[in-house]
Amino acid sequence: MKTGDALPRWAPPVAAMALVLLIDTVLFPSFFQIRLVDGRPTGSLVDVLIRGMPVALLALGMAGVIATRGIDLSVGAVMAIAGAVAANALAGGAPWTTAVLCALAAGLACGLWNGMLVAFLKLQPIVATLVLMVAGRGIAQLVTGGQITTFDDASFAALAGGTIFAIPAPILIVAVAALLLTLLVRFTALGLMVEAIGVNPRAAELVGINTRSIILAVYALSGVTAALAGIIATADIRGADANNAGLWLELDAILVVVLGGGSLLGGRLSYGLTLVGAITLQAIKTGILLAGLPPQMGLILMAVMVSVLLVVQAPALQQRLHRRTLRKAAS
């Protein structure tokens, strides 16, 4: 939509984030205060950022998948698998670098599996990734032997709890990942190709885009970012919980992408706005806790949020707005 007075694409997500942060500040005046305690920043905002990072990572991978009009339901299960693999390697005495590499490799393998089903067997994304969503937690339990595998490795735990130049490690990991991905898709034609597939897969193929490879790549990337999220979650609790790691986070990740202005009908990709969406969601969750509301209200509030987003994104409403702006322009 290139009408004269249409809002830029980044405006609604950023406005939503600003609104949520404003409400949080009203409820809790010291929301933006950041204090350095023993060289680590503390405060509600820092808490929002750190807590939101695993979902933000999932959402970074999900953003690419959704931009191709796909969906990846398996990210939560992949988190559990990666966490189980990492914890297992550490418990076996492997150094933390090996554990991280093993977990990332497991995530990549899961992502390639999904991508293969979607790109080469032409399965619907929701069906293809459902298989791993159902079986993935079983695989994770297979790796951990049904127990919560714990480990004692300070370097690995630092991936969640450590700081570099007073910046908590998870925030740094997500920022670097988002920056690299943005550079990758905006300084090459990749981003354009991904969006082209989302807008019209057949047209994209006809103009010569290698749709299969790109679809395979976005799912592989989603597997890797999910593995990263799994590593951080595992490092955070110093153990792998195959049953609960990343449970239902796939829904959070999808919601974050939509909050960041992504459309489930594909064709929109922005890693920066996805991060904005992640902060918005976590700020809402933290706000509910700060306001003293029961955490179950979070579920209802998320339902309300999804409903509002759906109404705003509805084609009927968009068309009506579009027509109104056209009429204004004519008169």
Partner 1 sequence: MTGQNRTLLVTIVVLAALFAFCAWQFPFVLSARVIGNLLTDNAFLGMLAIGMTVVIISGGIDLSVGSVLAFSAVLLSVLITKRGVDPTFAFVIVLGIGTAFGALQGAAVHVLRAPAFIVTVAGMFLARGVCFLLTEDSIPISSSAYQRLTDVGLPLGGGGHVTLSALILLASVALTAELLRRTRFGANVYALGGDRRAAELMGVPAGATTACIYAFSGFMAAAGGILYSLYTQSGYPLAGVGLELDAIAATIIGGTLLAGGYGSVWGTALGVLILGLIQLYITLEGTLSSWVAKIATGALLLFFIGAQKLFSQSSFGPRLFARLSVRGGLNHALSTEQPQ
Q: Note the residues at the interface with partner 1 (CB under 8 A).
A: 71, 121-124, 126-128, 130-142, 146, 242, 251, 254-255, 258, 264-265, 294, 296-304, 306-307, 310-311, 313-316
Q: How far is the CB of 109 from partner 1 (least distance, A)?
A: 15
User: Nearer Cβ to partner 1, position 14 or 306?
Assistant: 306
Closest CA to 246 of 67, 68, 84: 84
User: Nearer Cβ to partner 1, position 75 or 169?
Assistant: 75
Q: How far is the CB of 185 from partner 1 (least distance, A)?
A: 24
User: Nearer Cβ to partner 1, position 299 or 329?
Assistant: 299
Residue with tokens 């969006």: 195
Q: How far is the CB of 248 from partner 1 (least distance, A)?
A: 9
User: Nearer Cβ to partner 1, position 84 or 231?
Assistant: 84
Q: How far is the CB of 267 from partner 1 (least distance, A)?
A: 14
User: Nearer Cβ to partner 1, position 84 or 235?
Assistant: 84
Q: How far is the CB of 162 from partner 1 (least distance, A)?
A: 32
Q: How far is the CB of 149 from partner 1 (least distance, A)?
A: 14
Q: How far is the CB of 157 from partner 1 (least distance, A)?
A: 26
User: Nearer Cβ to partner 1, position 132 or 233?
Assistant: 132
User: Nearer Cβ to partner 1, position 199 or 301?
Assistant: 301
